[in-house]
């Protein structure tokens, strides 16, 4: 019997997760953080805090989606 080859998507998970990590490292780095560091507020929350929170939540959601989609195939 021949062993079952792994699905093509599972081989792409590593580079995709690496891309997501690099993307969010750039998004949470100084130049973009400085762009959001001003006195503005959205619903009483400072813009910088909101940017970091939303970016962090997106990181978690995209990582979970990539891990789940590669596992289900």
Give the model's confidence band at 70: pLDDT under 50 very low, under 70 low, under 90 confident, else very high: low
Residue among 46, 17, 20, 16 at smallest CA distance from 33? 46
Joined together, the tokens standing for residue 43 give 């619903």
Give the model's confidence band at 67: pLDDT under 50 very low, under 70 low, under 90 confident, else very high: confident
Domain limits, the chain = 16-72
Residues in Cβ contact with 69 at an 8 Å cutoff, skipping those fewer than 6 apart: 9
pLDDT at res. 62: 93
pLDDT digits 0-9 by tens, 41-61: 999 999 999 999 999 999 999
Asked whether 23 and 59 are in contact (CB, 8 A), the reply is no
Give the integer Cα–Cα distance in Å for 49 and 26. 17
Asked whether 16 and 66 are in contact (CB, 8 A), the reply is yes
Average pLDDT, the chain: 86
């Amino acid at each position: 019997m021949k062993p079952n080859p792994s699905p093509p998507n599972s081989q792409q998970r590593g580079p995709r997760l690496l891309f997501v990590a690099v993307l969010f490292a750039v998004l949470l780095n100084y130049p973009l953080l400085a762009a959001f560091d001003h006195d503005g507020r959205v619903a009483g929350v400072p813009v910088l805090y909101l940017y970091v929170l939303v970016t962090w939540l997106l990181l978690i959601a995209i990582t979970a989606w990539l891990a789940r989609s590669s596992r289900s195939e």
